[in-house]
Amino acid sequence: MRIQGYGLSDVGQERGNNEDSLLIDDALGLYIVADGMGGHAHGEVASSAAVRTVARYLREEGIASKPDLPIPELVAVAETAVQHASKRIWEMATSRQGYAGMGTTLSILLVRDTKGIMLHVGDSRLYLMRGDRIDQLSSDHTFTSELVRNGVFTPEQVRNSPYSNVLTRALGKSETVQVDTLVFDILPGDTFLICSDGLTGYVPDDELGDYLCADDIRGLPHQLVALANERGGHDNITAVVVRSDDGDAVSQEELLHCTRIQEQFSTLQAIHLFKGISMAGLVKLMDISRELPLTPGQSPINEGDVCPGLLIILEGSVAVIRDGYQLATLGPGDMAGEMSCLRQTPSTATLKALTPCRYMVIDYSELERLYSKDPTLGINLLRNLGHTLAERLDKTTSRLLSDRAEQEELDELPSILFVP
């Protein structure tokens, strides 16, 4: 798969100097945007130091010459590079007179074959445009965004808050920094935008999506920067646009892989349990899932067994059997194992494949680890799970009441039929 990136950074209409920095290295598959802070030239120093330190560390580690380096190890190397950058800026801020408070945001896209790796700190952003849908993969580390994610306020309530630009994380504020990481599959045609808040402050997500749909991306950074300047340009503006394409002919194996990734995303997005979950959240769920086959008659779980996780049918049909009776049939998009997810108790039914099937399983143990790393995602999933189970309870209650009414009518029939 071929990856190409284009970028532009501009001082804007009101600032005296540009505190943003960027890097585009197609050969290394490395794309970075940093937005410095600290006043005068100090923000520029911080953002430039962050970009240079990360790039130098990754090159010195020789990641380009290690194509077989496992993705988890590559993530660890890249995160170490970010920590080196944070320490470097912190040392400058604490040792040089007048540099106190210097820091920078940092958003990184690192591409390895068909995998993308995000490393993110601050309120610069990484977007993914796939098909006609745009999603923000990064989370803003600002005071108001944290309040919204934790359910304290709604987005509308903090829209015009004076604290919307107050960062909760930045490189250089301490010797180390908490880094958001995300690993995801890259499909042919995917387009990424890495940008500073000087752009997103003027251009909403849906409008960004309209631009990122362009066939030719070479001029997009200039168009986006010009648009932000036309609408005020009160801040520095930086945009890096990256697109993947087929490059050489795609093998049948690669084509099948892309098709299955798209199918899994579409299936998860259509399930009520995952309603409102961001693309980044779905990526994290897919990262801990496994796809398995079933032959007719095979059972992924038997009544009385401990259910390993959430089971999601991708293809085929599966019977739900309890005490020897078939209660229901599951098809693509249907799910089982929700009750065991809450209670960690043995399964109350057996699942048996009626046709050749494929299904995804998300292990409960992996889910619990994910909750600890991303509590907001865990809260959203548990809320959706509660809604799903409440709806099932309502349907069951309605069915029981209907059956009871029918039974009462039948009980009255003898007296009606045999009245003298």
Provide the pLDDT for residue 158.
72
Q: Domain 255-373 adopts which CATH fold?
A: Jelly Rolls (2.60.120)
Q: What is the dihedral of CA 205, 207, 213, 219, to 10 degrees?
A: -110
Provide the pLDDT for residue 420.
47
* Tokens found for residue 64: 């380009």
**Count of other CB atoms within 10 angstroms of residue 397:** 10
Integer Cα distance of 32 and 180 in angstroms: 14
CATH number of 2-250: 3.30.300.10, 3.40.50.300, 3.40.50.80, 3.60.40.10? 3.60.40.10
Provide the pLDDT for residue 177.
96
* Tokens found for residue 317: 């049909």
User: What's this model's pTM, rounded to 2 decimal places?
Assistant: 0.83
pLDDT digits (tens, 9 = 90+) for 333-374: 888 887 776 677 788 889 999 999 999 998 888 888 888 888
Residues of the chain with pLDDT under 70: 39-41, 151, 247-251, 341-342, 410, 412-420
From residue 55, how far is each of 108, 120, 393 by CA, in Å?
A: 10, 15, 55
Provide the pLDDT for residue 39.
64
Provide the pLDDT for residue 143.
87
Closest CA to 19 of 148, 196, 164, 144: 196
Closest CA to 392 of 295, 323, 327: 327
Q: Let me know if the fold of 2-250 is the same as that of 255-373.
A: no
**Given CA atoms 308, 311, 316, 320 in this order, what sign does their dihedral have?**
positive
Provide the pLDDT for residue 347.
86
Provide the pLDDT for residue 98.
81
Q: Domain extents for the chain?
A: 2-250, 255-373
